[in-house]
Amino acid sequence: MLFPVGEAIAAWHFWIMLLIFIVALVIGVFLIGRVPPLLHTPLMSMTNAISGITIVGSLVAAQYFVPDAKSILGFLAVIMATINVMGGYAVTDRMMKMFKTPGKAGKEKQNE
Amino acid sequence: MSELPKWLIYGGNALAVVLFIIGLVMQNRVPTARNGNRLSAIAMFIAVLLALTEFKVFEPWLIIAGVLIGSVIGLFGAFKVKMTAMPQMVALFNGAGGGASMLVSLSNLHEKSAEKLGELANANTEATLSTLTDIVMVGKDEISIMGVDVAITTILSVLIGAVTLSGSVVAFMKLQGWISGRPIMLKGRHAINLLSALIIVVLGGLACFYLEPPIPVIIAFWIVGALSLLLGVLMVLPIGGADMPVVISLLNAFSGLAAAMTGFVLENHLLIVVGSLVGASGTVLTRIMSKAMNRSLMNIILGGVGGSVIKVASSTPKAALPKTEAQEKPKTGIPAAVEALKKAERVVVVPGYGMALAQAQFEVVKLTNFLEEQGKNVVFAVHPVAGRMPGHMNVLLAEAEVDYEKLLELEESNEEFPKTDVVMIIGACDVVNPAANDPSMDTPLSGMPILEASKAKSIIVCNLDAKPGYSGVENPLYDDPKTMMLLGDALATITGIRSGLEEPEEGAAADASEAEEGGVPAAVAALQKAERVVVVPGYGMALAQAQFEVVKLTNFLEEQGKNVVFAVHPVAGRMPGHMNVLLAEAEVDYEKLLELEESNEEFPKTDVVMIIGACDVVNPAANDPSMDTPLSGMPILEASKAKSIIVCNLDARPGYSGVENPLYDDPKTLMLLGDALGTIKAIRSGLDKPQGAAAATQAPSEGGIPSAAEALKKAERIVVVPGYGMALAQAQFEVIRLTNFLESQGKNVLFAVHPVAGRMPGHMNVLLAEAEVDYEKLLELEESNAEFPRTDVVMIIGACDVVNPAANDPTMDTPLSGMPILEASQAKAVIVCNLDDRPGYSGVENPLYDDPKTTMLLGDALKTIKDIRKALGSSD
């Protein structure tokens, strides 16, 4: 949990989460509207990788090595979330590598 | 493991959120985007580490196995996928994320219910209360598996996650071509959707308010999951290929929302924040995409666009043309058939039992393969009762290795015929007998659904005889003026046609290239004259894998001093920014990619627009207020405003929207139909050849210093590239006299200084400063390279390696390879004042010296520069 939740505000917890959700939505809309169309594919690919944040939840679900439904589902979730995260970031990096500034084209080649 | 202080965990999570946000902010600009992505990955890593530290007991075997398996799959996909296949890869990754969110929520549900079952086994069950009021009164925690809020968010998480998973998989299959990219409209899908949604709401409601006993609740949630998977499939199936940018953005938003909902379930703030960032991002992109397609999201989700062809008034002459041609032709025998097939673009083969009898299927497929190689579209129309058993023809054609996607069923076939140039009927009679549809006749066939071959523009019948078929009803089609009857053994007839096609195919190839000569050479001529060229790429370019060839062509055009940019429509291709990625892959400088508004400002100034595999996005019908088409009001690239247009599309058919493109009939449009890759190659080689000739004619006129003086007189922007040779010749003062004189003529003169020109860092700067050159005129490497494309004349004075374009040629492996150079070759003309034309220090020959636009003035630079200045009319 990001913020400490004391007993006193436990009853409000759901509403706090809802507030966080809405604020984050607004921030997201604000941020994305400024990205140029040129970068829309890498952007989408990157946010796609970010949606793999659910891996955090999947780790919790798969923390015990027991053959019950919870852990098996958690295990599958870990696999899928990892595909999302690893594949997403790697493919984004691969795409962004191709966008070169004119002057740097030579240098990049040299580095590779 | 779990003993990290609280503040560290909170702080770490907050740091992760901040890094995610900074990563997103860094997407605003190209230079920072890549590091933004890496920052985001680091944030993810921090989040994962923090999650691990909160475990009470740590048995990480499932986690380690899962992460290993997932990493292998994910990284393999990421590095193996071709750039053209990027949309489907992104879709798959996205689906995996949504699926993971769904599974996490279900896993949490199982955990909670297992706990509850344990409690129930211990507790006195009589004390438990079961009515809604009791739950409210007593408090949820004492009795139910979870709170109502958690139950609702679990349902949402499962619902959205499942729709993301199955929807993404269907999108992947469509983009990959595993299932048809066209809208697939299942009958009753709306009813199924509605019913599923209803069941989900009811089950969800029940589960929320009667959260015990646990087992039925779990079953209810799993049913919700299964129905949601079905909803995802049904949502994406009816959506056609070109609407994919919208769908993929939407699924992207869903995967974020699913993660956020999972965050509610787990009471994990990090998941909520990050998930909703992604949800917002996907939503914004979806809005941008659907705006760019001029469709509402609802309209797209309801699907079905792209099915029918809408005729635009101006298209009638085009449609009429092949018809009249076909009618005028003497229709005798195989040569006539060969002729018709050569001209045809769309061919439909109708096989019948006669084909089976003549064992002609292999020969037929050889013929159709040949036709397809010629770029024609060939499909098979299979009547359900053609042959002697259900699917008989399908089996025969499958045996001959016909792709089953080319086998059309009755309805599909009948939609196809009116668009068909030539129908070949092979051993079929009754199934194509139009008498069946004639209400004035009462025959055994009356009312039988037939293949309406008579609607095609011309017909070739390869039957044994002209006698009626099994039904005994005469076939009026045989007497149709547009029908060619080739009676006899079908095997022999088909073989005859194929050899007829192949033989004069040499001739026809010549013919075709002659016909194209109207095309490609005209295009070449237009491009040669053009100064401003805009390329409009579309999905067709992606399909033809033509992006590299296109960029080769544009690079060549730029070397000729032409200005080339790319006009990218927001929804060109199959995902947002699809064309940008392809062009970036082909190493196009992203500054040359214009957005919609910029492009439309550019077109009126443009000499030649090259449209490569794009249709709807340049369709001027969208702007015509008198027409009401699916495109009406869609923002388009107004290519029609350019002085001339070259269209390199596979065919002249309407695009995804089904709206005919009036641009194709514009007198200033050159249509180069066929494979874009081949067309572009042909144009480039066409440009190359006369280029050599032009260079040859230029060469004699280049009488050294006078022509250099001439070039300088005309030039407005001049860049001087000094090298060690200038230092050796002590020519810097003479150079400055020349440049001062040029400036007095109102010309703009700059110096391009390579960091390693000369023999020490900043050597040239020192020499030029010595000659009192304003340091603001000394450009560094990047500035210089930005300047060259605008430069009229580059004067190279005693420099060689630092301007050697071989350094940038990836196909060459030289000591210079990869060295950043001054790209003097981008200027319109080059004057080289070197002592000799031998290679520089690196020993690598300089291809610039052989460039037709280069004037070589060999000898002592001091004298050469002085002579040029005198030739320009400056006195001492």
- Candidates A43, A16, A56, A31; CA nearest to B21 is A31
pLDDT at B761: 57
All residues of chain B having their beta carbon less than 8 Å from the beta carbon of residue A13 are 267
Give the pLDDT confidence of B289-304 residue by residue, as tens digits: 777 666 667 766 665 4
Contact between chains at A46 and B78 (C-beta distance less than 8 A): no
Retrieve residue A84's tokens.
């999302």
User: For B700-735, b where at least 16 C-beta lie within 10 A, e where not — what string?
Assistant: eebebbebbbbbbeebebbbbbbbbbbbebebbebb
| B88 shares a domain with B203 | yes
Give CA–CA dist A52/A82, Å, rounded: 7
Retrieve residue B564's tokens.
């080339």
| B150 shares a domain with B91 | yes
Three-state DSSP at B290 gives helix
| Cis amide linkage into residue B213, ω under 30° from 0 | yes
Residues B227, B200: contact at Cβ < 8 Å?
Answer: yes
H or E element that contains B508: helix B490-529
3-state secondary structure B706-747: HHHHHHHHHCCEEEEEECHHHHHHCCHHHHHHHHHHHHHCCC
pLDDT at B101 over 80: yes
Retrieve residue B733's tokens.
């003062």
The residue out of B643, B660, B690 marking a domain boundary is B690
pLDDT at B444 over 70: no
All residues of chain B having their beta carbon less than 8 Å from the beta carbon of residue A107 are 820
Give CA–CA dist B132/B210, Å, rounded: 7
Give domain status of residue B679, yes or no.
yes
Give domain status of residue B25, yes or no.
yes
Give CA–CA dist B543/B541, Å, rounded: 5
Residues B57, A71: contact at Cβ < 8 Å?
Answer: no
Mean pLDDT on B188-194: 80
Average pLDDT across chain B, whole number = 78
| B278 Cβ neighbours under 8 A, 6+ residues apart | A28, A47, A48, A50, A51, A53, B252, B253, B255, B256, B257, B259
Contact between chains at B78 and A86 (C-beta distance less than 8 A): yes
The residue written with tokens 């929804």 in the block is: B571
Give domain status of residue B678, yes or no.
yes
Residue B803's alpha-carbon distances to B320, B568, B693, B718, in angstroms, are 57, 32, 25, 16
| B571 shares a domain with B677 | yes
Give domain status of residue B75, yes or no.
no
What is the band of B67 on the pLDDT scale with cuts at 50, 70, 90?
very high
Q: Where are the domains of chain A?
A: 7-99
Q: What is the CA radius of gyration of chain B?
A: 35
All residues of chain B having their beta carbon less than 8 Å from the beta carbon of residue A82 are 66-67, 69-71, 74
* Higher pLDDT among residues B667 and B159, named by residue: B159
pLDDT at B165: 95
All residues of chain A having their beta carbon less than 8 Å from the beta carbon of residue B282 are 44, 47
Mean pLDDT on B497-503: 78
Contact between chains at B27 and A77 (C-beta distance less than 8 A): no
Q: Is B274 on the interface with A (CB under 8 A)?
A: yes
Percentage of chain B exceeding pLDDT 70: 82
- Residue B12 — φ and ψ, nearest 5°? -60, -45
With a CB-CB cutoff of 8 Å, which residues 52-91 of chain A face chain B? 52-65, 68-71, 73-91
Strand-pairing partners, residue B829, are B793
All residues of chain A having their beta carbon less than 8 Å from the beta carbon of residue B782 are 101-104
3-state secondary structure B770-829: HCCCCHHHEECHHHHHHHHHHCCEEEEECCCHHHCHHHHCCCCCCCCCCCCCCCHHHCCE
pLDDT at B497: 84
C-alpha A103 chain-centroid distance? 32
Q: Is B99 on the interface with A (CB under 8 A)?
A: yes
Across the interface, of B47, B66, B267, the residue whose CB is closest to A79 is B66
B299: number of CA atoms within 13 Å, CB side? 12
Chain B nearest C-alpha distance from A91 (Å)? 5
* Higher pLDDT among residues B768 and B371, named by residue: B371
What is the band of B146 on the pLDDT scale with cuts at 50, 70, 90?
low
3-state secondary structure B325-388: HHHHCCCCHHHHHHHHHHHCCEEEEEECHHHHHCCCHHHHHHHHHHHHHCCCEEEEECCCCCCC
Percentage of chain B exceeding pLDDT 90: 13
Contact between chains at B252 and A47 (C-beta distance less than 8 A): yes
| B678 shares a domain with B713 | no
Of A35-44, A72-81, A91-100, where does the model show the most confidence? A72-81
CATH classification of the domain holding B452: 3.40.50.1220
Mean pLDDT on B400-409: 74
pLDDT at B469 over 90: no
pLDDT at B860: 85
Residues B828, B793: contact at Cβ < 8 Å?
Answer: yes
Angle between helices B86-122 and B214-236 (to 10 degrees): 170
| B613 Cβ neighbours under 8 A, 6+ residues apart | B537, B538, B539, B540, B541, B542, B543, B544, B546, B648, B649, B650, B676
Q: What is the CB neighbour count within 10 angstroms for residue B358?
A: 22
Size of interface A-B (CB pairs under 8 A): 426
- Candidates B554, B494, B495, B560; CA nearest to B528 is B560
What is the band of B355 on the pLDDT scale with cuts at 50, 70, 90?
confident
Give CA–CA dist B261/A54, Å, rounded: 10
In A1-112, beta strands by DSSP E: none
Active site residue B465: no
Residue B166's alpha-carbon distances to A49, B45, B62, B160, B250, in angstroms, are 18, 27, 25, 10, 13
Contact between chains at A73 and B106 (C-beta distance less than 8 A): yes
| B651 shares a domain with B541 | yes
| B149 shares a domain with B271 | yes
pLDDT at A85 over 50: yes
- Residue B612 — φ and ψ, nearest 5°? -120, 100
| B706 shares a domain with B680 | no
Least confident of A5-19, A92-106, B106-120, B311-325: B311-325
| B561 shares a domain with B456 | no
Strands ordered across the beta sheet of B458-462: B407-408, B377-381, B346-351, B422-426, B458-462, B483-485
What is the band of B90 on the pLDDT scale with cuts at 50, 70, 90?
confident
Retrieve residue B720's tokens.
């001087």
| B228 shares a domain with B151 | yes
Three-state DSSP at A64 gives coil
Residues A13, B272: contact at Cβ < 8 Å?
Answer: no
Give the pLDDT confidence of B544-594 residue by residue, as tens digits: 888 888 988 888 888 888 889 999 888 787 777 888 888 888 888 888 888
| Count of the separate structural domains present in chain B | 5
Give CA–CA dist B730/A112, Å, rounded: 39
Give CA–CA dist B265/B272, Å, rounded: 10
Residues B75, A87: contact at Cβ < 8 Å?
Answer: yes
Q: What is the CB neighbour count within 10 angstroms for residue B820?
A: 22
Give CA–CA dist A63/A75, Å, rounded: 9
Give domain status of residue B74, yes or no.
no
pLDDT at B698 over 60: no
pLDDT at B225 over 70: yes
Mean pLDDT on B47-71: 85
Residue B584's Cβ-count burial label (10 Å; 0-12, 13-18, 19+) is: buried
Residue B206: domain span = 81-302
Residue B35 DSSP one-character state: H
Across the interface, of A14, A64, A75, the residue whose CB is closest to B66 is A75
* Higher pLDDT among residues B394 and B249, named by residue: B249
pLDDT at B194: 85
pLDDT at B721: 92
Residues shown for chain A: 112
Give domain status of residue B876, yes or no.
no
Chain B nearest C-alpha distance from A51 (Å)? 5
- Candidates B789, B783, B786; CA nearest to B828 is B789
Active-site choice (B430, B616, B792, B851): B430
Mean pLDDT on B641-663: 83
Give CA–CA dist B45/B271, Å, rounded: 14
pLDDT at B330 over 80: no
3-state secondary structure B188-250: CHHHHHHHHHHHHHHHHHHHHHCCCCHHHHHHHHHHHHHHHHHHHHHHHCCCCHHHHHHHHHH
∠ Cα B272 B275 B278 (to 5°): 145
| B252 Cβ neighbours under 8 A, 6+ residues apart | A44, A47, A48, A51, B94, B278, B281, B282, B285, B286
pLDDT at A2 over 50: no
Residue B390's alpha-carbon distances to B386, B387, B395, B400, B607, in angstroms, are 8, 8, 9, 18, 58
Residue B628's Cβ-count burial label (10 Å; 0-12, 13-18, 19+) is: exposed
pTM above 0.90, yes or no: no
Residues B791, B712: contact at Cβ < 8 Å?
Answer: no
What is the band of A78 on the pLDDT scale with cuts at 50, 70, 90?
very high
pLDDT at B73: 92
Give CA–CA dist A65/A70, Å, rounded: 10
Residue B859 DSSP one-character state: S
Give the pLDDT confidence of B511-532 residue by residue, as tens digits: 333 344 457 778 888 888 888 8
Give CA–CA dist B97/A112, Å, rounded: 31
Mean pLDDT on B230-250: 81
Residue B217: which region, alpha, beta or left (left: phi > 0; alpha: psi -120 to 50)?
alpha
Residues shown for chain B: 876
* Higher pLDDT among residues B595 and B720, named by residue: B720
Across the interface, of B52, B278, B568, the residue whose CB is closest to A51 is B278
